Amino acid sequence: MMNQAQLLLIDDDRHVLESMGSWLREIGYAVDQASNLNQAIALIDDRPYDLILADVRLGDEDGFDVLRHCRAHHPGTTVIMITGYGTVETGIEALRAGAFDLLTKPLIDEELEMAIQRALSQQKVMQENQQLKQQLDLRFGLENIIGHDHRMLRIFDMVDSVADTRATVLITGESGTGKSLLARAIHRRSNRRDQPFIEVACGALPENLLESELFGHVAGSFTGATGNKVGKFKAADKGTIFLDEIGTAPFSMQVKLLRVLQELQFEPVGSTETETVDTRVVLATNENLANLVDRGQFRQDLFYRVNVINLELPPLRERISDIPRLADHFLAEVCQDTGRRVHGFSSEAVAALQRYKWPGNVRELQNVVERAVLLSKHDEITPDDMPSSIASGAPVSVSRSTGTSLKEALEGPERQIIREVLESNGWNRNETADQLGINRTTLYKKMKKLGLEELAGQRGSL
């Protein structure tokens, strides 16, 4: 409760000190008392106080020295100054020096209590903001990007190396690999962490609105522009802008992007005035920009400009050793959010997770774990709690018969895997090929070679 706060009362008048201290204790505060500067500073350095009430005049000493000591050595401590000779100048001096308020004697009980409550309320808000910031740093920092795969560790090292620079960073990787999370981690680990982080999904906006969204516009610049609008680049000034799906940016927009990356300048739509910003740019794409350049869909000069630092996130199927850690992480999150008591995964469930190809990458794994926790009736996740397409990824036993070539030995497990995925997809070849990460022609050839073509015909496959 707020009235359990620890207060320090400083006044050289013994009568005021005793009477005010007694009254504050009666209304529930814990109060220490000091009658001079040295005694006050010794107490302040010895224990933490939520609030200090200090008289401006302490005999021949200055109560402002208490305030200056707190600002220098205990910046989280709130100080209210009290004076019997209140003037506008004294009030201004107190506030400029960092005091929360200046009260004038004689003090009215209600006025003092209200001032104390206001000070403690503000302190509580500041503490909550600090805790929230720490939570955000944890949530969006590298601490929340699970990965012990050697490629992920190399990415973490690169992030630490470039976080405090202005270098443009391009994050590439398949959908669901965590590009947005990595962009936020770069911002959180940089010296811009206290400034804005603005995210723009380039592919979600039509071409005629994207330019206005990024650079802003002035009133009357186009139909519907009834007022001035600040663009995302300006909103991210001193901070970071994250341009997701940059491969979808229209060719006409790419010219302006190139200029702002090189010169940090642009003109809002319909304006002739040049805006200058100090914005760090992080981009992401799940497309191969080099191929887009070859096809004439992405400017070559822009490609060279954005490809300064390239962080390539590997797909989850290539990070098999990270899957158990990620699954445990998501399991803990879901249990905390839902109150479910699920303690882990069976060895068969872990094996199934590691055999699955994860076309949706980390995002798909998160959804699968959430579904399993919500549906499980036991304290351990088993393959029965997972979609059939994943449960069928349990390990395949391989007989150790002698005289069998490696090619022949692998055909058995390959046949079993393809058959199980075909069955889970109702023998739909298109869905099976997508899930296995191969094209339909390759699937046809393998089915024919492994004797599954005839079986598919019997099942009336598509």
Q: Say if 98 falls within a structural domain.
A: yes
Are 173 and 111 in a shared domain?
Answer: no
Q: Say if 398 falls within a structural domain.
A: no
Query: Can you list the pairs that 261-265 forms with residues at least 24 positions away whose Cβ atoms lie under 8 Å?
Result: 261/168, 261/302, 261/305, 261/306, 262/305
Residue that is last in its domain, among 102, 133, 164 = 133
Are 373 and 309 in a shared domain?
Answer: no
Are 162 and 17 in a shared domain?
Answer: no
Would you state the pLDDT for residue 203?
Answer: 80
The set of residues, in sequence order, having a beta carbon less than 8 Å from that of 240 and lying 6+ positions away, is 183, 186, 187, 190, 192, 195, 196, 197, 198, 279, 280, 281, 282
Q: Which element (helix H / strand E) includes 17?
A: helix 14-26
Are 431 and 322 in a shared domain?
Answer: no
Count how many domains the chain has.
4
Residue that is last in its domain, among 314, 330, 354 = 314
Are 427 and 354 in a shared domain?
Answer: no
Would you state the pLDDT for residue 394?
Answer: 44
Are 32 and 98 in a shared domain?
Answer: yes
Are 221 and 117 in a shared domain?
Answer: no
Are 190 and 250 in a shared domain?
Answer: yes
Asked whether 198 and 282 are in contact (CB, 8 A), the reply is: no
Q: Say if 11 falls within a structural domain.
A: yes
CA distance 59 to 39: 13
Are 126 and 146 in a shared domain?
Answer: no
- What is the phi/psi pair of residue 229, to 5°? -130, 130
Would you state the pLDDT for residue 132?
Answer: 65
CATH assignment at residue 356? 1.10.8.60
If we measure between CA atoms, which residue out of 5, 12, 10 comes closest to residue 27? 5
The one-digit pLDDT tens for each residue of the chain (462 residues) are 444 789 999 998 888 899 999 999 998 899 999 999 999 999 999 988 999 999 988 888 888 899 999 988 888 889 999 888 767 677 788 788 888 888 888 888 888 888 898 888 888 887 777 666 555 554 455 555 777 778 888 888 898 889 889 899 999 999 988 899 899 989 988 889 889 999 998 887 887 788 888 998 888 888 777 888 889 999 999 999 999 999 988 888 898 899 999 999 998 888 888 999 999 999 999 999 999 999 999 999 999 999 989 999 999 988 888 899 899 989 998 998 888 888 899 989 998 998 898 999 999 999 999 999 998 888 899 998 998 888 875 444 444 444 455 566 666 677 778 887 887 777 888 888 887 878 888 888 888 888 787 766 655 544
CA angle 318/322/326 to nearest 5° reads 125
Asked whether 424 and 393 are in contact (CB, 8 A), the reply is: no
**Domain span holding position 287:** 142-314
Q: Which element (helix H / strand E) includes 416?
A: helix 406-424
CATH assignment at residue 70? 3.40.50.2300
Q: Which element (helix H / strand E) includes 208?
A: helix 207-215
Are 92 and 189 in a shared domain?
Answer: no
Question: Could you tell me the two tokens for 3?
Answer: 């009235």
